[in-house]
């Protein structure tokens, strides 16, 4: 029953977007060009210096494409959490509490964002390009690990959206936290080994975004992991699950503290 309702909400969302097909396609085109431009700028940067801390263009393209692809996966379901505080302030969240779906599932279905098609196309294209150019042993185990990493990275981004958005239950406003999230996303577009001890430790143990793309890439490419061991990439899926469960705990804690606009 729950999955059927979820898919129905997503279908209705898609149909509503198609009512304004021109605007939708222009938005997709614009986003796609923006990300292509980001990849081109990065390519020019690498051409200038040949490598960045021992990482060549194909290896960095793998990092960035994993970051963008998994971000799109998580954001498709939970990007609406960036504006969740407006629902809390207005009391609009009340109607989700009376839904036959779980409130978080209802939010995800009702606000499902199909506009990330451009992210998937661009990131997927550069991901395939980088994999073709990379000289690595593509065994069945490596291919399976890459598939798991794509899912776990999406789970990590989803966890970030839920965790940060849930702070609206406590502080009312949570949008400022997503500015920090965006900045940290930019950090992992490069190998974190270029940063100092503090930043590497933060992105590994404090806010473990390095498990989205860096440590898995280190395992796939058999590269040096920097100041921390290479095998950390193998536990990236476990870290993603732990972060997602933590975000759900934050969500349930927030709901207990929620009071509607009417008190």
CA–CA separation, 160 and 188 (whole Å) = 15
**Cβ contact 158:70 at 8 Å:** no
**Distance in angstroms (rounded) separating the CA atoms of residues 86 and 19:** 26
Q: What six digits make up the tokens of 13?
A: 């969302």
What's the CA gap between 173 and 176, in Å, rounded?
Answer: 8
pLDDT at 233 over 60: yes
User: Do residues 258 and 169 touch, judged by C-beta distance below 8 A?
Assistant: yes
Residue 62: closest CA among 214, 186, 204: 214
- Predicted confidence (pLDDT) per residue in 2-41, tens digit: 567 677 767 777 777 666 666 667 777 777 777 788 788 8
Taking only the tens place, the pLDDT of each residue in 89-140 is 888 888 888 777 788 988 888 788 887 888 899 999 999 989 888 877 788 8
Per-residue model confidence (pLDDT) at position 47: 79
When pLDDT is cut at 50, 70 and 90, the band that residue 204 belongs to is very high
Phi, psi of 206 (to 5 degrees): -85, -65
Contact assessment for residue 67 and residue 188, using Cβ atoms and an 8 Å cutoff: yes
Query: Where do the structural domains in the chain lie, given as residue ranges?
Result: 2-257
Q: Is the pTM of this model over 0.85?
A: yes
Contacts of 175 (CB under 8 A, 6+ apart): 82, 83, 85
């Amino acid at each position: 029953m729950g999955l059927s309702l979820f898919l129905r909400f997503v279908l209705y969302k898609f149909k509503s977007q198609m009512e304004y097909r021109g605007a939708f396609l222009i938005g997709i085109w614009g986003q796609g060009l923006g990300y292509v431009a980001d990849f081109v700028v990065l390519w020019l940067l690498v051409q200038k210096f040949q490598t960045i801390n021992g990482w060549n263009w194909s290896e960095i393209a793998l990092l960035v494409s994993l970051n963008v692809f998994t971000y799109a996966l998580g954001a498709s379901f939970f990007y609406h959490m960036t504006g969740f505080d407006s629902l809390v302030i207005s009391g609009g969240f009340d109607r989700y509490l009376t839904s036959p779906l779980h409130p978080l599932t209802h939010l995800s279905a009702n606000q499902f964002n199909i506009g990330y098609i451009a992210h998937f196309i661009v990131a997927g294209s550069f991901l395939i390009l980088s994999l073709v150019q990379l000289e690595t042993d593509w065994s069945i185990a490596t291919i399976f690990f890459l598939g798991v990493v794509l899912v776990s990275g999406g789970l990590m981004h989803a966890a970030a959206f839920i965790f940060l958005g849930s702070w609206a239950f406590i502080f009312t406003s949570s949008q400022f936290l997503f500015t920090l999230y965006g900045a940290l996303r930019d950090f992992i577009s490069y190998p974190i080994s270029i940063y100092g001890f503090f930043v590497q430790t933060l992105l590994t143990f404090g806010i473990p975004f390095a498990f989205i793309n860096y440590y898995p890439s280190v395992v796939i490419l058999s590269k040096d992991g920097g100041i921390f061991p290479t095998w950390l990439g193998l536990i990236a899926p476990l870290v993603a699950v732990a972060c997602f469960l933590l975000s759900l705990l934050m969500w349930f804690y927030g709901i207990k503290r929620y009071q509607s606009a009417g008190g």
